[in-house]
């Protein structure tokens, strides 16, 4: 399985990109320039100009509220890396490998759910902190629905792996 090191590198790259984007979106949302291209980083349901205008209290509370989806995503990526390591070692149907696949799929679903509700939680917290009318925004995209479908498929694959393991153990008893 010569492609596994490349996939592990992509997993690491995704984890780093997520962290950099998170920091840039909350701490440095100003417009940057890369040659003739304008580059903006901003949190979900906000524009860069809105983040720049936030008082420090709201910006830091928004950062804290947005942190759990990122941490759960990192956990999912860690489980994916463990799954890839198990595949590289030839442990395709080991219980731990199946557990890593289920853990990855479950953590991805949890990260997705947290990222969907995060803007609404942020809006409610800001209403409380600011005593103002802040719009509570929540939405779901087709990409997010696709992630739900793929995670469901991973659970089906994990169930098939578990059944394959059970049949292999059963066949060993007859030989």
The pLDDT value given to residue 45: 82
User: Are 77 and 110 spatial neighbours (Cβ–Cβ below 8 Å)?
Assistant: no
pLDDT in tens, 104-151: 999 999 999 999 999 999 988 888 887 666 667 778 889 999 999 999
User: CA triplet 133, 23, 67: central angle to 5 degrees?
Assistant: 65
Residues contacting 45, CB < 8 A, separation 6+: 119, 122, 137, 139
Q: How many domains does the chain have?
A: 1
What range defines the domain where residue 99 resides?
Answer: 4-174
CA torsion sign for 147, 150, 152, 158 is: negative
Q: Give the pLDDT band of residue 34 (cuts 50, 70, 90).
A: confident
Number of alpha carbons in the 13 Å side-chain half-sphere of residue 53: 5
pLDDT above 70 as % of the chain: 96
Find the range with the poorest average confidence among 53-62, 72-81, 126-135, 166-175. 126-135
The pLDDT value given to residue 175: 59
User: Are 151 and 108 spatial neighbours (Cβ–Cβ below 8 Å)?
Assistant: yes
pTM: predicted TM-score of the whole model, two decimal places: 0.87
pLDDT above 90 as % of the chain: 57
Give the mean pLDDT of the chain: 89
The pLDDT value given to residue 132: 62
Whether 103 has a pLDDT exceeding 80, the answer reads yes
Between 114 and 46, the higher pLDDT residue: 114
Between 64 and 162, the higher pLDDT residue: 64
The pLDDT value given to residue 5: 95
Find the range with the poorest average confidence among 64-68, 78-82, 131-135. 131-135
């Amino acid at each position: 399985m010569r492609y596994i090191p490349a996939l592990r590198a992509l997993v690491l790259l995704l984890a780093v990109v997520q962290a950099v984007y998170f920091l840039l979106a909350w701490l440095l949302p100003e417009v940057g320039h890369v040659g003739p291209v304008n580059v903006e980083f901003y949190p979900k349901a906000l524009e860069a100009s809105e983040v720049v205008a936030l008082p420090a209290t709201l910006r830091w509370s928004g950062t804290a509220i947005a942190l759990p989806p990122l941490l759960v995503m990192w956990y999912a990526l860690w489980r994916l890396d463990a799954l890839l390591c198990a595949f590289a070692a030839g442990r395709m149907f080991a219980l731990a490998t199946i557990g890593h696949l289920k853990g990855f799929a479950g953590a991805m679903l949890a990260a997705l759910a947290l990222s969907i509700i995060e803007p609404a939680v942020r809006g409610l917290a800001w209403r409380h902190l600011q005593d103002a009318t802040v719009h509570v925004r929540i939405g779901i995209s087709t990409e997010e629905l696709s992630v739900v479908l793929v995670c469901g498929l991973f659970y089906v694959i994990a169930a098939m792996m578990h059944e394959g393991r059970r049949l292999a153990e059963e066949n060993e008893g007859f030989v």
